[in-house]
Homo-oligomer: A and B are copies of this chain.
Amino acid sequence: TDSTEEIVNSLNQNGGLVHWVNIQTLDRHVVKAAEKIFKFHQLTTEDILNTNHLPKLDVFEDHCFLIMKIFTYSEGKKRFDYEHVGVLLFEDSLLLLQEYPGDIFDTVRLKIKEGSGSIRKGKSDYLFYVLIDTLVDHYLEIMEEMRERAERMENSLLEGEDSVTLNEIIKMKRQMNRMRKFTFPLITEVKKIKTEPPSFFDKSTLTYMEDVFDHLYLLNTNFEYLRERLMDLINLYHYKLSENTNQVMKVLTVVSTIFIPITFVAGLYGMNFQDMPELGWKYGYPAAMGVMAAIAGGMIYYMRRKGWM
């Protein structure tokens, strides 16, 4: 079949000391075929096929099994997707299974090329390190983009711009929560490599792994920071709305408080009683105007003192 060919193809393509096999589909038959070739546990297959599974790292006697997610975040598209990835590490080969065809291998290949000659001699464990490192760096980049976007939104709110809507903030919070859910377990899981490393894991690779732990810790800190930031953003939105409502109320109150009483006075002299002496007075009209001006002035004075005008 098409998928089996792909396996053979990758085996040939990477026929060096370490076999890299990249299966870019999570079709049950393909994974089952890989299970037979690489002889891993049936439950591992189930975990690979369950695309809702949380990240985890299982260390077995002769191999490791890692579940991770690849995220695609694009501010332009405002969509946020993730892809299920399973990695099986054996002494002399690495099997990467991912949901959709993607370019993650290109970045890894690039990183390995970038690495100095001394690094190239690395075995499958080093490849494993580069893979995790690439993904964690990728997470950090997405976090940084999110953080920058949150900062821009906060600045817009602080400057009183209308461009930030509640929906936008809420959607960003949802993205952050989903990403957190699918990366958080990794922080503890990857540590297993340190406490119980597989027999074929080189000590020097563990030194490199320290760098990954550092980055995972940074990721965790950045999540907490972004989370607080988004909470602050929502609160800020709410406070700004309260301030706006308060200001709207003030204008309504100022206008009503000035005009309602004097409208009453005008209404008073609009009554049609036959016997209203004021109406015949010579200065009746200017006097009424004066009374109204006095009332309005008093109200304005009162509200000025209150700081509402």
* Contact surface of A with B, Cβ cutoff 8 Å: 43, 47, 53-54, 56, 154, 158, 162, 166-167, 170-171, 173-174, 177, 181, 185, 208, 211, 214, 217-218, 221, 225, 228-229, 232, 234-253, 255-257, 259-264, 266-276, 278-280, 282, 284-285, 288, 303, 306-308
**Residue in contact with A253 in the complex, picked from B248, B272, B279, CB distance below 8 Å:** B248
Question: A177, B272: Cβ atoms under 8 Å?
Answer: no
A270 touches which of B253, B267, B284 (Cβ 8 Å) = B267
Cβ 8 A contact of A170, one of B170, B232, B244, B245 = B232
Q: Top 3 closest A-B pairs, CB basis? A: A266-B267, A269-B271, A252-B253
A267–B288 alpha-carbon span in the complex (Å): 12
Number of identical monomers bound together in the oligomeric complex: 5
A244-B282 Cα distance, complex, nearest whole Å: 45
CB distance from A12 to the nearest CB of B (A): 33
Q: Which listed residue, B239, B247, B274, B285, touches A273 by the CB 8 Å rule?
A: B285
Cβ of A24 to closest chain B Cβ, rounded Å: 25
| A275–B282 alpha-carbon span in the complex (Å) | 7
Whether the pair A285, B271 counts as a contact (CB closer than 8 A) is yes
